[in-house]
Structure 1
């Protein structure tokens, strides 16, 4: 059975200029007149981006302004899954195509806006200030043509003719004023170069260092009792929420953080509630999530006030405050006075 030939394709190939390559792709470029998006080769042939990331970059670039491009919004619009979309967005954010900018609204609220740039490298280039528009040269003045019957105008000033003797003659016609010559257009004055303003990047580079994360809190003394209770609490989290299943190594690393909470008179149920309440769905990295909450939600230390207990005086039965039982101050003073008198 013969292969079906596309007649329109054959005609389009015949109209291509020059010889066709023997192998490889052949481009038939038909000019778009509506509904098209310009994509640069720096994105289409980016060596560090996967084909999936390039495809989502083209799709995001073709969407109108204000379209939601979150993971769930893109998953509802396109057939790819959320994991593949999230990986593609991370690639675009790493290479600077997708960036997030925090702006303040007129009502004072701070929102995070997602910005897509088709050429992130161009944001770091120095910008040249636009020169002011040049004024058009003055149009030359055009004078009316002089009639052919009129005498030629004189260059110098007209001299008065002396009256001739004899019979009166008709007065000689006054010479006409010379027509003003067309003024030549003025040459444009060269403008002074505009100094370039120092370039300030609007968006930080994608390789900007991130601030270090705070360390996991540590107890003043990790006693065996604190270690036992902390280990049991972390190992039992998956019974309350299956997403908080921790490995043995992760439990061992997180024990000091839970012990620091318990050392500050926090009940184990309170610690469990603080770690598992209002958690995102799903919790992709339970170890990092629990470590983050143990660090940022750490309660303040408990400042205990030492209260001196009441004691009963052995001599006068009077109540007084003292760390240990014994006589009160009055009995001690009187006993000391009696000893001095006896010695004297």
Structure 2
């Protein structure tokens, strides 16, 4: 079998026109007749997208309309974890390939609608997008429907264009780095040691001295909340995007958004004590003696005299 493959490859290379390069990849292009997807080089060779984002973008573009492309659906399909897949989807969204919007279903529940654009640059230049056949909104993590056959391509001239609404929603301000109540010398030394030692556990997280000085309060806030150093180290090094372009920004983001709450005290953990119901004292409107009742009025003696009379 290996000999047959080698002979077929030798024959295919011999039929290529022109001299072959001395090094680098050599393409043997056999035209597809079924089950293929046209992908632009602007995505396949994107200079700013990670390889995971490019791969997920190509995979989404190859799926039929209605396929589930949420984080959990992709994590069940590929070996990458949910954090890496979520980061790749954010990359595609930042560069215009992916758009996600929350819509309300007929039953009142909220669902995520995902739209993938194969040419975001052309979309921005033209200010319009070809209207895709979008199925009714369903939650992203619902059971996958049976795939429908892909429709025949329709000439672009016959497709009705629709306007893309401008992005007018204001961006939320970034959350500040957590700060401890008091940055003691002991907290500073421990936080600095944890940050400097990150590269021993994740070679991508090489921080400069200025980065460590800036991030010390964030780690100190975690230590002040009695988080163990190994737990901090795991939160900062697990499931890193590949390659991480800005290690200091990744550490700052995780210190901010993953900050755990303070440990509850003994009073919060103690079981609730039921207090006995106390009926208030009232002064009798007849004899002015005190008696217990929820409402003012007459005491029992005055009520008995009135009943006897």
Indicate the TM-score class for this superposition, using the shorter chain for normalisation.
0.3 to 0.5
Larger radius of gyration: 1
Structure with greater helix share of residues: 2
Structure with the bigger RCO (C-alpha within 8 Å, sep 6+) is 2
